[in-house]
Amino acid sequence: MSSASASGPSPATAAAAAPVETDAATGATGPMTQPPKFLVDMKAKFCRMCGGRLELSTPPEGKEWRHVCQNPDCGYIDYQNPKMVVGCIVEHEGKVLLCKRAIQPCYGKWTLPAGYMEWNESSAAGAARETWEEAHAQVSVIAPYAHWDIPMIGQAYILFRASLAPPYTFSSGPESLEVALFEPSAIPFEELAFSSVSTTLRLYLEDLRTGSFRFHHGVIDKRPGSLPNDPGAFVVRDHMALSVDLAGPSGGADTATQQ
Amino acid sequence: MSSASASGPSPATAAAAAPVETDAATGATGPMTQPPKFLVDMKAKFCRMCGGRLELSTPPEGKEWRHVCQNPDCGYIDYQNPKMVVGCIVEHEGKVLLCKRAIQPCYGKWTLPAGYMEWNESSAAGAARETWEEAHAQVSVIAPYAHWDIPMIGQAYILFRASLAPPYTFSSGPESLEVALFEPSAIPFEELAFSSVSTTLRLYLEDLRTGSFRFHHGVIDKRPGSLPNDPGAFVVRDHMALSVDLAGPSGGADTATQQ
């Protein structure tokens, strides 16, 4: 079911550091004479500041295509930034907690508890909040485990290892049909919801086998138009795995810098 | 200038996992009868979908305060999510590249090249792009180095170690007055721009001394109303430092999972 391919030991290089734009949808690079597809597809049409019409145009000072308010008294630029999705790999007695989705996309598929980070919370607190909301589980965050950028859909996944905390109970939140602990060997890879989740859990199993949890970072490129859980519809590139000292996440971490 | 205090070896715990809200501005927790300050302060007043008026209200199905479009045919919820700021610690011949800011905030202060991540790029590519724009420097990204959440201002900093790449040149971009390489001992801590930058560079010096680069994660809490570079106006909490294997970032990283 899984195929692992060697990508070589080289770190990610910043090949696109020159002042060109990359259209994640097409992979094309170079000065763009047409707006990128994700901007054309954007549903927002009005200015958040004045209610005026937004139109795609290249701002005078810049080079990027932007939605700009056409009200000459306003001129607000509607920047599009990626959203962070935060979640937990909840561990308990050697098992991992998964949620069966009660909502689209991927209704009926299994996922790690995760969701959009809010403005006024940390990523770890957001991951714990989402775990509470989707699985009614209290957790203690152990350490960051993975960061995946998915440029095509404007998302960055930040996932933490966490342990189930007292009272060690869980149940379905409103967005879950079912919540269950899975033995690692029983994780239903054919029924997982998202590329980020299957990628993370495959590496988690690798790390379990070697006995060393790494910190994983990389980019998930999805095939345009593919479904969120379509096997074969994505590739992981620029994967960097930081080999973490077995002393654990708090090894050498007992210093809080305070200016 | 710096004071280090022991925070204990415990990992970050998800104390706020219960379904209560936290007002980052006040530290208050519990069901909120008043909207949080960051939402009240939000300048956006119009719906991006229909141009209708936004008003603060608790949506029927949820518990959080949101800006909701008052057009009954629309009802769009204007979610507020944090923005990612991506940047590089650029290393060359034992020195670190810093940029003197030509823009506010913190005009004239020194910073790491960094800026808002765009929707259709990865964090590493965005960090390299910002380094090009602000310092006209080509870089190779080595590894993730730090992730700081700053809930009070809705930002998450993702900073990478990078090496200056051929042709090994740099110069001021439009947002920089000056770009220079600093010996670690000469980093102008009194003249740094942001809490995230000073926190990162202090830890970078620690890691240089011990000869082991860690991956740092934590939360920066700023004093309400403080200036971006006000000393003493912020604390770092829930600092986790993953002790990275000296084999380097690519140790054990030669596997790309591809479904």
**Contact by Cβ (8 Å): B87, B123:** no
Q: Are residues B203 and B148 in the same domain?
A: yes
Q: Are residues B89 and B216 in the same domain?
A: yes
3-state DSSP of B139-182: EEEEEEEEEEEEHHHCEEEEEEEEEECCCCCCCCCCCEEEEEEE
Q: Pick the residue with more confidence: B52 or A7? A: B52
> What pLDDT, on a 0 to 100 scale, did the predictor assign at position B218?
97
Question: Is residue B54 located within the same domain as residue B139?
Answer: no
Is residue B25 within 8 A of residue B36, CB to CB? The reply is: yes
Interface of A with B in 80-109 (CB under 8 A): 80-84
Residues in contact with A137: Cβ distance below 8 Å, sequence separation at least 6, in sequence order = A90, A97, A113, A131, A164, A169, A170, A179, B17
Average pLDDT over residues A175-181: 98
Map residue B204 onto helix, strand or coil.
Answer: helix
B-chain residues near A137 (CB < 8 A): 17
| B185 Cα to chain A: minimum distance (Å) | 18
Residue B254 pLDDT more than 60? no
- Model pLDDT, residue A199: 96
Judge whether B211 is closer than 8 Å to chain A, CB to CB: no
Domain membership of residue B247 (yes or no) is no
- Better-predicted residue by pLDDT, A197 or B222: A197
- pLDDT of B15: 35
Domain assignment present for B75:
yes
Q: By the CB < 8 Å criterion, does A58 face chain B?
A: no
Q: What is the percentage of chain B residues whose pLDDT exceeds 90? A: 66
pLDDT for residue A247: 46
Separation in Å, CA of B67 to nearest CA in chain A: 11
Q: Provide the pLDDT confidence category of residue B34 given band limits of 50, 70 and 90.
A: confident
pLDDT mean over A128-139: 98
Cβ contact B259–A215 (<8 Å): no
Based on the domain organization, do A51 and A64 belong to the same domain? yes
Of A168-172, B26-30, B57-61, the range with the highest mean pLDDT is A168-172
- Is residue A199 a contact partner of residue A206, using CB atoms and an 8 Å limit? no
| Helix, strand, coil % over all residues of chain B, rounded to 5 | 15, 35, 45
- Count of C-beta atoms within a 10 Å radius of residue A147: 23
Sign of torsion over alpha carbons B218, B221, B227, B229: negative
Taking the CA atoms of residue A64, residue A65, residue A70 and residue A76 in that order, the dihedral angle to the nearest 10 degrees is -50
- Collapsing DSSP to helix, strand or coil, A189 comes out as helix
The mean pLDDT value for B12-18 works out to 36
Q: Between B224 and B102, whose confidence is greater? A: B102
In this structure, of A91-95, A161-165, B41-45, B172-176, the range with the lowest mean pLDDT score is: B41-45
Give A-chain residues touching B136 at CB under 8 angstroms.
Answer: none
Q: Are residues A149 and A48 in the same domain?
A: no
Q: Is B259 on the interface with A (CB under 8 A)?
A: yes
Residue B13 covered by a domain: no
DSSP B1-12: --EEEE--SPPP
Q: What pLDDT is recorded for position B32?
A: 60
| Per-residue pLDDT at A53 exceeds 80 | yes
Q: How far apart are CA B248 and CA A227, in angstroms?
A: 36
Structure tokens at A98: 């998964």
- Backbone φ and ψ for B184, nearest 5 degrees, come out as -50, -40
- Residue B59's contacts (CB-CB under 8 Å, 6 or more residues apart) are B66, B68, B77
Average pLDDT, chain B: 83
Segments forming the whole domain that contains residue A39: 33-80
**Is B247 in contact with A252 (Cβ distance < 8 A)?**
no
Say which DSSP state A246 is in: T
Residues A55 and A91 reside in one and the same domain:
no
> What pLDDT is stored for residue B22 in this prediction?
38
pLDDT for res B37: 85
pLDDT in tens, A200-255: 999 999 999 998 899 999 999 988 888 877 767 899 999 999 877 644 443 333 33
* Average pLDDT score over residue span B229-251: 73
Q: Which residue has the higher pLDDT, B29 or B196?
A: B196
Mean pLDDT of A105-125: 96
In a domain, A20, yes or no: no
Q: What is the percentage of chain B residues whose pLDDT exceeds 70?
A: 79
Contact between B122 and A8 using a beta-carbon 8 Å cutoff: no
Give me the long-range contacts of A57-62 (CB less than 8 A, separation at least 24).
Answer: none
pLDDT reported for residue A218: 97
Average of per-residue pLDDT across A61-65:
72
Do A156 and A99 belong together in one domain? Answer: yes
Contact list in A for residue B89 (CB cut-off 8 A) is: none
Residue B5 above 70 pLDDT?
no
Q: Is A121 on the interface with B (CB under 8 A)?
A: yes
The answer to whether residue B2 sits within a structural domain is: no
Say if B163 is an interface residue toward chain A (CB within 8 Å). no
pLDDT tens per residue across span B172-218: 999 999 999 999 999 999 999 999 999 999 999 999 999 889 999 99
Q: How confident is the model at residue A30, as a pLDDT?
A: 46
Distance from CA of A47 to the nearest CA of B (A): 6
More confident residue, A51 or B226: A51
Q: Note the pLDDT tens digit of each residue in A67-88.
A: 999 999 999 999 999 999 999 9
**Same domain (yes/no): B120, B63:** no
- Last residue of some domain: A41, A57, A80? A80
Residue where a domain terminates, one of B80, B109, B137? B80
DSSP 8-class letter at B20: -
Question: What total of structural domains would you count in chain B?
Answer: 2
- Residue B29: inside a domain, yes or no? no
Chain mean pLDDT for chain A: 83
Does residue A168 sit at the B interface (CB-CB below 8 Å)?
no
- For residue B245, the model assigns a pLDDT of 62
pLDDT computed for residue B59 by the predictor: 57
| B104-139 residue pLDDT tens | 999 999 999 999 999 999 999 999 999 999 999 999
A229 shares a domain with A217? yes
Q: What does the pLDDT average to over A193-200?
A: 96
In Å, how far is B108's CA from the nearest CA of chain A? 20
Please say if the pLDDT value at position B13 is more than 80. no
Q: Please tell me whether residue A219 adopts helix, strand or coil conformation.
A: strand
- The CATH number covering residue B123 comes to 3.90.79.10
Q: What is the dihedral of CA B8, B10, B12, B18, to 10 degrees?
A: -120
Could you say which of B80, B105, B137 is where a domain stops? B80
In percent, how much of chain A has pLDDT > 70? 80
* CA–CA gap between residue B182 and residue B230 (Å, rounded): 22
Residues B170 and B61 grouped into a single domain: no
CB B30 within 8 A of CB A35: no
Q: Is residue B248 a part of any domain in this protein? A: no
> d(Cα B132, Cα B127) in Å, to the nearest integer?
9
Of A14, A141, A257, which has the smallest distance from its Cβ to B13's Cβ? A141
The predicted pLDDT at position A259 comes to: 31
CB of A22 within 8 Å of a chain B CB? The answer is yes
Contact A122 B151 (CB under 8 A): yes
Predicted confidence (pLDDT) at residue A12 exceeds the cutoff of 60: no
Output B237 or B244, whichever has higher pLDDT. B237
Q: In this structure, what are the phi and psi dihedrals at residue A219, rounded to the nearest 5 degrees?
A: -125, 135
Q: What is the pLDDT of residue A76?
A: 93
B139 is a domain residue: yes
Same domain assignment for residues A53 and A140: no
Arithmetic mean of pLDDT, A132-161: 97
**With an 8 Å Cβ cutoff, are B14 and A125 in contact?**
yes
* Structure confidence at residue B3 as a pLDDT band (50, 70, 90): very low
Query: Stretch B5-33: mean pLDDT, rounded?
Result: 39
Residue of A nearest to B6 (CA): A255
- B106 and B159 in a common domain: yes
